[in-house]
Amino acid sequence: MKVAVFGATGLVGSVMLEVLKERNFPVTELIPIASPRSKGKLIEFSGKSYAVVTPQEGLDMKPALAIFSAGGDTSLEWAPKFAEAGCYVVDNSSAWRMDETKKLIIPEINASVLTKDDMIIANPNCSTIQMLVALAPIHEAYKIRRIVVSTYQAITGTGVKAVTQMQNEREGVKGDMAYPYEIDQNCIPHCDSFLDNGYTKEEMKLVNETHKILDKTIKVSPTAVRVPVVGGHSESINVECEQPFTIAAVRWLLEHSKGIVVLDNPAKLEYPMPRMAHHKNEVFVGRLRMDVSNPQALNMWVVADNLRKGAATNAVQISEYLLEQGFIQA
């Protein structure tokens, strides 16, 4: 199977390649695609070297599957061209997420809505993916009424420029700034650009994507914060449910849900942290406890590697589902 990775030289693109290899996705020929300035650069994959090609060259090579991680404008331009050529596109940008004609997929939750005609499939935002993987089982059992979430998002969510900024600050080197302020030893309550309602785009993604994937009746109140972390995103989540529950029942439910690892033993200081989620594909949940101010609510702490389950792993899992259903052929 010919598989194209659009944005193969980028931070997420490189993780896409790692995950494809680790999960033994049946790639017979890799087509690494990037901007013309990267043309000819060699990419190592499964013991072979592949030269980076331009988008048009990649299209002409007729891949069966293309995983996009190259920005919204690029996806808007090229995803339809690949789809028209009969190539399934799994897109990691925000370009198609809220398009009513496109499915927004977290495989553990709603892969079953996909059909053979869904040629462009949207990968949700990283912070949405980990939150909803943890909350979907709770919603199914107890019906969630309201979510209050604060995210603590790793700089890798911004990209290589942000990682370089933090490294420069730690070494006392002046360089390009990905953020309006220093990020090392700091927290910036600002992810993406601000909107007219006072929220950022990142915060509203949590609202809008929850409504599209899980339930449009759920009320969501988000705050997104950038923190000097590399390993993954963390989220403090308060969940109010319509049906009564116990923490023991919720813990059991999460322990028996796909893609979730429960680390919840405060007596032994066991709880999720970005360091332990780094390079992992699961969503880690802990600090489960009743809301002392509301008998219908609980608090939880959710951590995941934003480049893996928050991006690459979720995209590859979607691709695996397409393969399992016979929409693409190995």
- The residues assigned a catalytic role are 126, 233
Helix (H) or strand (E) holding 289: strand 283-290
Count helices and strands in the chain by DSSP H and E runs: 10, 14
216 CB-side CA count, 13 A: 2
Tokens of 256: 């028996």
**Residue bearing tokens 């944005």:** 7
Name, in order, each residue with C-beta under 8 angstroms of 269's C-beta and a sequence gap of 6 or more. none
User: CB–CB of 221/198 below 8 Å?
Assistant: no
Pairwise CA distance, residues 191 & 227, whole Å: 10
DSSP single-letter state for residue 41: -
Question: Token pair for residue 69?
Answer: 């991680």
Query: 145, 240 in Cβ contact below 8 A?
Result: yes
